[in-house]
Amino acid sequence: MSAQQTYTVLSGGVGGAKLVLGLQEVLRNEQLDVIANTGDDFRHLGLTICPDIDTLLYTLSGNANPETGWGRRDERWVFMETLEQLGGETWFRLGDRDLATHITRQALLDSGLTLSEVTRQLATALRVDTRIHPMSDDPLRTRVVTADGELEFQDYFVRQRAEPVATGIHFAGADGAAMAPGAAAALTSADNAAIIISPSNPWLSIAPILAVPGLQSTLLNSSAPTIAVSPVVAGKAIKGPTAKLMRELGVRDGVLGIAEHYAGIIDALIIDRQDAEYEEAIKALGLRVGITDTVMKDLSDKTALAQFVIEFAATVAGRARGAA
Amino acid sequence: MSAQQTYTVLSGGVGGAKLVLGLQEVLRNEQLDVIANTGDDFRHLGLTICPDIDTLLYTLSGNANPETGWGRRDERWVFMETLEQLGGETWFRLGDRDLATHITRQALLDSGLTLSEVTRQLATALRVDTRIHPMSDDPLRTRVVTADGELEFQDYFVRQRAEPVATGIHFAGADGAAMAPGAAAALTSADNAAIIISPSNPWLSIAPILAVPGLQSTLLNSSAPTIAVSPVVAGKAIKGPTAKLMRELGVRDGVLGIAEHYAGIIDALIIDRQDAEYEEAIKALGLRVGITDTVMKDLSDKTALAQFVIEFAATVAGRARGAA
């Protein structure tokens, strides 16, 4: 790859952040832009919480908690314990260290900075050079439609542990949301070698990003290929409620369901060796297929997958868009 | 004393809270109203901090930190440590436990409750039965006038450690502030046996309370006697910058300076045995004088002083107002 090339990743939280960490290791930092899902953001206890941006910030700065998949390592819970004694809401766990991020973010937002600017300041403070852009500086909120009505995302996901049956997903505020400047710049950069859709939940973490007006068309108009990494391996989601949600939404099981969902948006799909049998069926959808080990348990798994994504992207890059 | 009698205390932080704790021990809780100074309140990191209300809440609930005189016991500082790593403002120390109070308060204020209502909820959560009323639900902010201009109170007191030379005190927003309902009700209650001015700093902690429009006249119109406990013993302030401030403001040194300041507002002044020599000079100002041990080091000191104040008040109560 040339020194001028940049890579733009669409990412949600845990699964996406793992691949981004691998890419950060493999690429020089100045070559990596991440467009983060902010559909999960919410206001809690007076603070603006941005779970996916924070997972990215913590993962890329080496501060992530490896056991929980969210929050910070070496976390303490004295604030939460005291809040409980005061009768406060404790269903969303805010650690003593994590809280410093939310308080700092809210103070900066209150001072008039955009979420993009605040995210940049937090990244600088945490010595993260990878550019993390919120998908939008405007509120676009993911809501899960259930038989009992629409649920705020964190209510569904954290408070109710993704147990309610989902019948649909709604992105509240999508009409009024604009792409964040950094997200737009990354997607339209002439240096872009590839747009990578990380192995985050396509319906809960990637769809909100694509729901930002203009974002999907900008992606489709890019001369760079768009390559997704399947979040599903051997019919199971690596993390989170993806498999359950796919059943509830009536989507075809496994990587084929992922391929069908992304067909028309991506040029290629990277799937796990365990799903190699689906290669021809995915190709029949007009997609290039990359096959490798996609389960990321340690840093070497992450960098190996990142290296594969980059090398595979170079083989897709030459294809004319219309061939997809 | 009769079961119907109530006592109303004007109080700042540390010194005042000690006497209030003694009174809480001696009296039944339902007989005790505290009007707290909120002139020190400020907005910090997006949170409304009420130092004197919190010192009262923590002292009366047994959660005060006996070493610092502010904040909570068994405090932890992981939030502050992490905030520092993020480049946040750390000159005002917010402990992990203390933070739960500020976050809860801000969330309740944001939900539309008044500071009086929020304070009541916090008191209930901390199982404090003594009624703590902010002097006002409106912002009235103490500013210290110095040669370099006006300083916000916490900037002067905490950040600059009360080192700048004060040339005056200004209560910003006093014109637009109304007495809090609970404060007004306590001062006008027919059951009021005495109004007690706690041994807090008269210029920094009590003057803001008296600056709330209507409060001082309500106090003067009460049929109950007003009795102050001197915060100065043997020419020295027990706590804080009182003595330094008195010199800078050109006030007479020692208890006589306190007596002269409060003359016209109070009916009686309680002074320490070490200041007994000033009894006649204070009486010459038209004030009754009570003499006892006023230094409160342990709980028995506090209850002994509280008991003295109550018994002394009964002897002042019979006096016609005009005699003061």
- A100–B contact, CB cutoff 8 A: yes
Give the H/E segment covering residue A140.
none
Chain A interface includes B112 (CB < 8 A):
no
Q: DSSP label at A130? A: S
The 3-class SS string of B134-173 reads ECECCCCEEEEEECCEEEEHHHHHHHCCCCCCEEEEEEEC
Rounded alpha-carbon distances, angstroms, from residue A69 to A63, A66, A154, A196, B82: 11, 6, 16, 21, 20
Yes or no, beta carbons of B82 and A103 under 8 Å apart:
no
Asked if the Cβ–Cβ distance from A97 to B82 is below 8 Å, we say: yes
Q: Which residues in chain B have Cβ-Cβ distances shorter than 8 Å to A96?
A: 76, 78-79, 82, 96
Could you give the CA distance from residue A275 to residue A284 in angstroms, rounded to a whole number?
A: 15
Nearest residue of A to residue B74 by CA position? Answer: A78
Report yes or no: B43 and B51 within 8 Å, Cβ to Cβ. Answer: no
As a whole number, mean pLDDT of residues A83-103 equals 96
Q: Are A153 and A141 in contact (CB under 8 A)?
A: yes
**Per-residue pLDDT tens digits for B132-179:** 999 999 999 999 999 889 999 999 999 999 999 999 999 999 999 999
- B194-203, pLDDT tens digit by residue? 999 999 999 9
CA distance A218 to A78: 45
Whether B102 shows a pLDDT value over 60: the answer reads: yes
Query: Among B276, B309, B306, B313, which Cα is nearest to B291's?
Result: B276
Nearest to A27 by CA among A112, A130, A96, A153: A130
Residue B70's pLDDT is what? 85
Segment B208-245, tens digit of pLDDT: 999 999 999 999 999 999 999 999 998 776 666 778 88
Judge contact between B310 and B7, C-beta under 8 A. Answer: yes
pLDDT, tens only, B176-191? 999 999 999 999 999 9
CA contacts within 13 A on the Cβ side of B43: 9
Q: Within a 10 A sphere around the Cβ of A149, how many other Cβ atoms?
A: 9
Residues of A in contact with B47 (CB under 8 A): 46, 103
pLDDT tens for each residue of A133-165? 999 999 999 999 998 899 999 999 999 999 999
Provide the residue type at A168 as one letter.
G
pLDDT band with cut points at 50, 70 and 90 for residue A240: low
Whether A79 sits inside 8 A of B97 (CB atoms) is yes
State how far the Cα of A231 lies from the Cα of A239, in Å rounded to an integer. Answer: 8
What 3-state DSSP class applies to B2? coil
ipTM exceeds 0.90: no
Helix (H, G, I), strand (E, B) or coil at A62: coil
Helix residue ranges per DSSP H, chain A: 14-26, 51-60, 78-85, 96-110, 115-125, 153-154, 181-188, 207-210, 215-221, 242-248, 254-262, 279-283, 299-317
Distance CA A125, CA A103 (A): 14
Count CA within 13 A, CB hemisphere, residue B251: 24
User: Are the Cβ atoms of A88 and B104 closer than 8 angstroms?
Assistant: yes
Helix axes B96-110, A78-85, angle to 10 degrees: 50
- Contact status of B113 with chain A (Cβ, < 8 Å): no
DSSP tag of A175? G
With pLDDT > 70 as the criterion, what percentage of chain B qualifies?
95
For B273, which DSSP code?
Answer: G
pLDDT category, A322, cuts 50, 70, 90? very low
The residue behind tokens 């993020």 is B86
Split at pLDDT 50, 70, 90, the class of B127 is very high
Find how far residue B256's CA is from the centre of its chain.
20
For residue B278, what pLDDT is reported? Answer: 96
B127/A contact by beta carbon, under 8 A: no
Provide, for chain A, the percentages of residues in helix, strand and coil under a 3-state DSSP scheme, each rounded to the nearest 5: 45, 20, 35
How far lies A162's CA from each of A68, A146, A154, A156, A243, in Å?
A: 16, 11, 9, 5, 12
Q: Hey, what amino acid is at B150?
A: E
Please say whether the dihedral angle defined by the alpha carbons of residues B194, B197, B198 and B199, taken in this order, is positive or negative: negative
- State the amino acid at position A44 in one-letter form: H
DSSP assignment letter at B277: G
Q: What's the pTM?
A: 0.91
SS3 call for A210 = helix
Cβ contacts of A217 within 8 Å, gap of 6 or more:
none
Q: Which chain B residues are closer than 8 Å to A78 by Cβ?
A: 76, 78, 96-97
The token pair that represents A18 in the structure block: 């793992």
Where do the domains of chain B lie, and which CATH numbers do they carry? 6-148+151-157+170-323 (3.40.50.10680)
Is the distance from CB of B215 to CB of B135 less than 8 angstroms?
yes
CA-based Rg of chain B, rounded to a whole angstrom?
19
Q: Is A298 on the interface with B (CB under 8 A)?
A: no
Number of H helices and E strands in chain B, helices first, is: 13, 14
A59-63, A69-73, A233-237, range with the lowest pLDDT = A233-237
Contact by Cβ (8 Å): A201, A240? yes
What is the percent of chain A with per-residue pLDDT over 90, rounded to a whole number?
85
| pLDDT on residue A317 | 67
Residue B160 to residue B167: CA distance in whole angstroms: 16
Residue A290 is encoded by which pair of tokens? 């990359």
> Which element (helix H / strand E) includes B239?
none
Per-chain mean pLDDT for chain A: 93
Give the model confidence (pLDDT) of B11-59 as tens digits: 998 889 999 999 999 997 668 999 999 999 999 999 999 999 999 999 9
Band of residue A318 on the pLDDT scale cut at 50, 70, 90? very low
Q: Does B126 touch chain A (CB under 8 A)?
A: yes
Residue B311 near residue B287 (C-beta atoms within 8 A): no
Is B275's pLDDT higher than 60? Answer: yes
| pLDDT, tens digit (0-9, with 9 covering 90-100), for B26-36 | 997 668 999 99
Q: Which among B181, B189, B178, B193 has a CA at the least distance from the CA of B226?
A: B193
Rounded-to-integer distance, Cα B209 and Cα B174, Å: 10
What Rg, from alpha-carbon coordinates, does chain A have?
19
Q: Mean pLDDT, to the nearest integer, of A255-280?
A: 96
Helices marked H in chain B? 14-26, 51-60, 78-85, 96-110, 115-125, 153-154, 181-188, 207-210, 215-221, 242-248, 254-262, 279-283, 299-317
- d(Cα A272, Cα A293) in Å, to the nearest integer? 5
Nearest to A86 among B85, B104, B106 (CB): B104
- Residue of A142, A130, A268 whose CA lies nearest to A194: A268
pLDDT (0 to 100) of residue A239? 63
Are B272 and B296 spatial neighbours (Cβ–Cβ below 8 Å)?
no
**Single-letter residue type at B237:** A
Chain A nearest CA to B161, separation (Å): 24
Strand partners, B191: none
